């Protein structure tokens, strides 16, 4: 069988928009370096409404925002102000610590809009966990895109065959956005110890086995695996090499539990840098029920 494990995400209503959270899962913490996987939307935001994820902190990881529809405005404690549109990538490496917010742009609040995309976190290798924070925006046209048997494939991060993404990361990683027409198919890139496919839509099969929408299929580590579509469909492919156990609490991820305790104390005591032009922030929770999706 090509599928080792099938994960049905936990659905979360985050106040105006829905997120389906596949990682971390009860018995599957990570896929390669990916430790957090949210499918956000599609959710319709009425006029005068929007997404407002207030400033909050991260350590020892990178956050990756990738949209299918809609827009978000990113602000962080480095002074970055960057909007993101569909097909582009906002890659924020928290390292030793960063604070950011994600909000709907002002212009979008004047009309009905749709927000739809994928938010992931990737753990950093131990030797890079405490690097200086950084933020990089990759416009859509900078990401390699090609067609294979009726499937249009965009390489968000990593290496796939002869294609290499400009996104800089610190360990082997694979991240693809694949749009398939009816009767199209493509082969999952090999060379990674861990691989998974997320079905953004219905109509997909893995080696002939139907895949329900909104499922994360953990794949066999070796062998040829073909994804096909009976009708127009879309999927996300993630993968890479395992990095070892990580501890996660709220928005903090680290290889060391004591580092998370330090981050908790630092946020409680206002020791993180602030986001310019922002007066709000998310207080340290007493009990963690969920992490912020962005």
Residue-wise pLDDT for 214-268, tens only, equals 999 999 998 899 999 999 999 999 999 999 999 999 999 999 999 999 999 999 9
Cα angle, residue 99 at apex, residues 270 and 29 outer, rounded to 5°: 110
Q: Rounded CA gap, 240 and 251, in Å?
A: 22
pLDDT at 287: 75
Which of these, 249, 242, 280, 244, lies nearest to 265 by C-alpha position? 249
Mean pLDDT of the chain: 95
Q: Which two tokens stand for residue 32?
A: 């390669």
Q: Rounded CA gap, 123 and 35, in Å?
A: 6
User: Is residue 54 pLDDT above 90, yes or no?
Assistant: yes
Average pLDDT, integer, range 28-53: 94
Which range among 119-123, 150-154, 195-199, 290-294 shows the weakest confidence by mean pLDDT? 290-294
Q: Which pLDDT band, with edges at 50, 70 and 90, does 80 fall under? A: very high
Average pLDDT, integer, range 163-185: 97
Which of these, 71, 61, 75, 62, lies nearest to 40 by C-alpha position? 71
Which range among 136-145, 258-267, 285-294 shows the weakest confidence by mean pLDDT? 285-294
Q: Rounded CA gap, 230 and 181, in Å?
A: 8
pLDDT at 17: 81
Is residue 88 within 8 Å of residue 140, measured between CB atoms?
Answer: yes
Q: Rounded CA gap, 206 and 158, in Å?
A: 22
Is residue 259 within 8 Å of residue 212, measured between CB atoms?
Answer: no
Could you give the C-alpha distances from 227 to 73, 186, 230, 263, in angstroms and in order?
34, 6, 10, 41
Could you give the C-alpha distances from 41 to 21, 23, 71, 89, in angstroms and in order?
11, 16, 12, 17
Average pLDDT, integer, range 202-225: 95
Which of these, 209, 214, 185, 217, lies nearest to 199 by C-alpha position? 214
Which of these, 53, 49, 38, 40, lies nearest to 101 by C-alpha position? 53
SS (H, E, C) 90-128: EEEECCCCEEEEEECCHHHHHCCEEEEEEEEEEECCHHH
User: Is residue 289 pLDDT above 70, yes or no?
Assistant: no
Residue-wise pLDDT for 94-132, tens only, equals 999 999 999 999 999 999 999 999 999 999 999 999 999
pLDDT at 293: 72
């Amino acid at each position: 069988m090509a599928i080792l494990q099938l994960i049905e995400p936990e659905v979360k209503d985050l106040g105006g928009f829905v997120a389906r959270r596949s990682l971390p899962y009860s018995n599957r913490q990570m896929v390669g370096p990916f430790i957090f996987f949210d499918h956000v939307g599609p959710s319709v935001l009425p006029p005068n409404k929007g997404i407002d994820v207030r400033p909050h902190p991260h350590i020892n990881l990178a956050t990756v925002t990738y949209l299918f529809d809609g827009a978000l405005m990113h602000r962080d404690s480095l002074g970055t102000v960057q909007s993101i549109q569909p097909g582009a990538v906002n890659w924020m490496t928290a390292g030793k610590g960063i604070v950011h917010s994600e909000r709907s742009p002002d212009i979008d609040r004047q009309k009905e809009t749709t927000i739809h995309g994928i938010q992931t976190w990737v753990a950093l290798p131990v030797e890079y966990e405490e690097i200086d924070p950084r933020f990089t925006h990759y416009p859509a046209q900078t990401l390699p895109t090609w067609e294979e048997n009726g499937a249009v494939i965009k390489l968000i991060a990593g290496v796939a065959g002869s294609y290499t993404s400009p996104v800089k990361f610190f360990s082997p990683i694979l991240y693809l956005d694949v749009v398939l027409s009816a009767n199209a198919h493509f082969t999952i890139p090999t060379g990674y110890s861990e691989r998974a496919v997320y079905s953004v839509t219905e109509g997909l099969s893995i080696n002939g086995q139907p895949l329900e929408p909104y499922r994360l299929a953990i794949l066999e580590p070796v062998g040829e695996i073909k994804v096909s579509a009976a009708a127009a469909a879309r999927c996300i492919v993630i993968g890479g090499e395992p990095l070892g156990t990580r501890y996660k609490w709220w928005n903090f991820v680290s290889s060391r539990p004591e580092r998370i305790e330090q981050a908790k104390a630092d946020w409680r005591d206002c020791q993180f840098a602030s986001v310019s032009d922002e007066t709000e922030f998310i207080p340290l929770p007493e009990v963690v029920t969920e992490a912020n999706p962005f």
